[in-house]
């Protein structure tokens, strides 16, 4: 596919970045059904690591098979598949060239008390697997946040020097942050901004709630009369926090929800200027045909091909 204007514009935001990195960003931005529009729809499958196999795959046992998730991402026409080393390694050869890959290179597990991340993949692994990008989670606010920032800085520097794009899952949690605070608007925007400052090309966040956690931030939102009543306004605010839209921001799907809620969320992401969706559990926990239909709806929304209102299924 030719490099389209929306993709050229996005690549232009990464002033001074290495050509190899830009080529890999373009590879994802030009792939699949969203290809060329400046939007990304990505399948992340690291929940087996993060939450455990049964919690992740028992609702749709076919998804225990890594080849199933490769095929789901390919058949849905997605932009990329993001997963830890072992999962990618099990399909990277058979599906070589069929879908851009993002190596999720650090992982937590829910057997531990405080969530923390171990480095589980290297830049060399990503290159050997033919990945376009490497991805890291950060937990701003956690007791280990500063070490995590240093790990990501080091990993990102090596990735960029090797021509790989860098994706950061910006998930504030731990330390003094309550569950409610993890998705507070000011906290999500703060996490996205930290990810941008750490050098992320693509930033993944959870859709922000109306809650404002920090007292000091609450005063500013009030004084500046920032409208955060609707999800689309909150999405705009987070995109603004990511260098005023100069970094690609995608929003995660979260635990299982109905199609209507997913579509409403995708529409708010589009209206707020978000660059797309990264939907894991809601994709691979549904039976394949239902997942394909759901992903088709989400893609059509991001591509503004969703003229008819949702039927409420």
Query: Which of the residues are catalytic?
Result: 204
Cβ 238 to ligand FBP shortest distance, Å: 15
Options 68, 142, 252, 276; binder of ligand FBP; rule CB under 6 A: 252
Q: How many residues bind ligand FBP (CB under 6 A)?
A: 14
Q: Which is nearer to ligand FBP, 3 or 54 (CB)?
A: 54
Cβ 32 to ligand FBP shortest distance, Å: 17
Options 281, 286, 297, 302; binder of ligand FBP; rule CB under 6 A: 281
Q: Which is nearer to ligand FBP, 245 or 254 (CB)?
A: 254
Cβ 307 to ligand FBP shortest distance, Å: 26
Site string for ligand FBP, 152-191 (x = CB under 6 A): -----------------x-x--------------------
The reply to whether 44 sits near ligand FBP by the rule CB under 6 A is yes
Options 50, 125, 213, 265; binder of ligand FBP; rule CB under 6 A: 50
Burial of 54 (0-12, 13-18, 19+ CB in 10 A): exposed
The reply to whether 254 sits near ligand FBP by the rule CB under 6 A is yes
Cβ 282 to ligand FBP shortest distance, Å: 6
Backbone angles phi, psi at 86, to 5 degrees: -60, -40
Q: Which is nearer to ligand FBP, 37 or 56 (CB)?
A: 56
Cβ 161 to ligand FBP shortest distance, Å: 25
Options 21, 279, 295, 298; binder of ligand FBP; rule CB under 6 A: 279
Of 89-97, 232-240, 246-254, 304-312, the window that binds ligand FBP (rule: CB under 6 A) is 246-254
The reply to whether 47 sits near ligand FBP by the rule CB under 6 A is yes
Provide the sign of the torsion angle of the four alpha carbons 203, 277, 11, 123, taken in this order: positive
Q: Which residues are near ligand FBP by CB under 6 A?
A: 44, 46-47, 50, 169, 171, 252-254, 278-282
């Amino acid at each position: 596919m030719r490099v389209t204007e929306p993709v050229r514009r996005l690549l232009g935001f990464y002033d001074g970045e290495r050509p190899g990195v830009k080529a890999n960003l373009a590879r994802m931005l030009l792939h699949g059904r969203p290809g060329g529009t400046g939007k990304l729809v990505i399948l992340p499958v690291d929940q087996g690591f993060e939450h455990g196999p049964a919690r992740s795959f028992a609702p749709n046992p076919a998804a225990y098979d890594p080849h199933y998730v490769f095929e789901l991402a390919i058949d849905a026409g997605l932009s990329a598949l993001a997963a830890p080393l072992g999962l990618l390694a099990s399909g990277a050869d058979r599906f070589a060239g069929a879908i851009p890959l993002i190596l999720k290179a650090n992982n937590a597990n829910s057997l531990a008390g405080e969530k923390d991340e171990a480095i589980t993949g290297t830049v060399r692994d990503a290159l050997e697997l033919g990945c376009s990008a490497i991805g890291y989670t950060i937990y701003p606010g956690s007791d280990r946040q500063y070490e995590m920032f240093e790990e990501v800085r080091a990993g990102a520097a090596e990735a960029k020097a090797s021509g790989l794009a860098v994706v950061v899952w910006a998930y504030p949690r731990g330390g003094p942050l309550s569950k409610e605070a993890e998705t507070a608007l000011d906290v999500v925007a703060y996490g996205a901004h930290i990810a941008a400052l750490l050098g992320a090309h693509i930033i993944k966040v959870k859709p922000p709630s109306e809650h404002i956690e920090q007292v000091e931030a609450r005063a500013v939102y009030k004084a500046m009369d920032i409208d955060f009543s609707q999800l689309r306004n909150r999405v705009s605010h987070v995109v603004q926090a990511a260098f005023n839209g100069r970094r690609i921001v995608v929003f995660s799907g979260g635990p299982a929800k109905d199609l209507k809620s997913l579509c409403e969320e995708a529409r708010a992401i589009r209206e707020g200027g978000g660059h797309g969706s990264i939907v894991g559990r809601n994709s691979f926990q549904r039976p394949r045909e239902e997942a394909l239909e759901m992903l088709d709806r989400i893609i059509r929304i991001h591509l503004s091909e969703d003229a008819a209102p949702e039927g409420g299924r």
